[in-house]
């Protein structure tokens, strides 16, 4: 999964979101097995999330830190960094907490969400607004019948991109900041599981692909986190070998490791 999949992908083992896709799949499999539902089981081997949006309370603050201190360029000054952190604590955080309540409103969510607007592409801060990458050629490729068959899709409904109308509704609820690795790491540290404390204390290591450093990573038990160098939001486009290597290891239920 990718991006907003971080919101809906995790199951009840995570403290970051309510049970969604993962637990739904398993519950439907049980219903099929006992005969109360007619359908095809989906075997959920693992959950991988690329640049996930997990929890705005964690990731809105992380965006402030990333805007000031990253490996590409500072987007805000030191004084702005301090100002935005103060604003986050006194203004944004209370609204985010209200947004997350059962009785929370879209207005509270939207008001809590502020982006420092500069001449940059939020999908890839190294580029300007008119960055054409990645190209949309994959849409036609995924609509080919032989491709759909190869990946196990029914082909009844052709592949489509995300709905612009749906995206506009997300922006009105504060859910439109593209994720960065600061927030991803903090989100991983917030997951409650047996190896949680060990993961927090563990230092990151350089991640190699065929001997070339392509990122950093760390993991404990069956949970791994990775930062990818020189990549925009759609990381597999920019670092294909790394993405394929990590995907294969994950699907084989192995811990992520360098080569």
Nearest 5°: CA angle at 136, between 8 and 227? 50
Give the per-residue pLDDT at 12: 44
Question: Within a 10 A sphere around the Cβ of 35, how many other Cβ atoms?
Answer: 7
Cβ atoms 133, 127 nearer than 8 A: yes
Average pLDDT in the 4-19 region?
58
Of 10 and 253, the one with more pLDDT = 253
> 178 vs 249, which has greater pLDDT?
249
pLDDT of residue 198: 96
Confidence of residue 239 (pLDDT cuts 50, 70, 90): very high
pLDDT for the residue 171: 66
| Per-residue CA distances from 245 to 176, 185, 252 (Å) | 29, 20, 11
60 with 92: CB under 8 angstroms?
yes
- HSE-CB for 254 with a 13 A CA cutoff: 9
- pLDDT reported for residue 49: 85
- In this prediction the pTM is 0.75
Instruction: Report the alpha-carbon distance of residue 79 to residue 82 in Å, rounded.
Output: 5
Q: Does the pLDDT at position 164 exceed 60?
A: yes
Strand partners, 227: 216
Question: How would you classify residue 100: left for phi > 0, otherwise alpha for psi between -120 and 50, otherwise beta?
Answer: alpha
Residue that wins the pLDDT comparison between 13 and 109? 109
In this prediction, residues 61-80 reach a mean pLDDT of 88
Q: Is 96 buried (19+), middle (13-18) or exposed (0-12) by CB count in 10 A?
A: buried
> Reduced to 3 states, what is the DSSP secondary structure of residue 69?
coil
Residue 179 per-residue DSSP state: P
Q: 200: alpha, beta or left, given left = phi > 0 and alpha = psi -120 to 50?
A: alpha
Q: What percent of the chain has pLDDT over 90?
A: 25
pLDDT for 82: 93
CA dihedral 47, 48, 52, 55 (to 10 degrees): 30
In this prediction, residue 104 carries a pLDDT of: 65
Task: Give the number of other CB atoms < 10 A from CB of residue 203.
Answer: 6
């Amino acid at each position: 999964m990718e991006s907003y999949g971080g919101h809906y992908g995790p199951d009840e083992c995570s403290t970051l979101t309510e049970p969604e896709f993962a637990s739904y799949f398993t519950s439907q499999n049980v219903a099929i097995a006992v005969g109360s539902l007619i359908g095809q089981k989906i075997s959920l081997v693992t959950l991988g999330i690329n640049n996930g949006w997990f929890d705005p309370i964690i990731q809105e603050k992380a965006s402030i830190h990333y805007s000031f201190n990253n490996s590409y360029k500072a987007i805000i000054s030191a004084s702005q960094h301090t100002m935005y952190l103060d604003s986050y604590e006194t203004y944004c955080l209370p609204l985010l907490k209200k947004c997350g309540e059962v009785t929370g409103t879209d207005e509270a969510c939207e008001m809590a969400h502020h982006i420092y607007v500069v001449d940059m592409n939020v999908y890839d801060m190294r580029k300007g607004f008119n960055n054409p990458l990645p190209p949309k050629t994959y849409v036609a490729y995924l609509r080919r019948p032989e491709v759909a068959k190869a990946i196990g899709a029914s082909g009844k409904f052709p592949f489509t991109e995300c709905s612009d109308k749906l995206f506009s509704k997300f922006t009105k609820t504060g859910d439109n900041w593209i994720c960065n690795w600061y927030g991803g790491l903090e989100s991983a540290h917030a997951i409650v599981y047996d190896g949680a404390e060990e993961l927090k204390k563990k230092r990151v290591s350089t991640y190699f692909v065929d001997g070339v450093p392509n990122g950093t990573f760390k993991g404990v038990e069956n949970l791994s986190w990775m930062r990818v160098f020189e990549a925009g939001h759609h990381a597999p486009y920019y670092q294909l070998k790394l993405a394929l290597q990590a995907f294969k290891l994950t699907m084989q239920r192995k811990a992520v490791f360098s080569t």
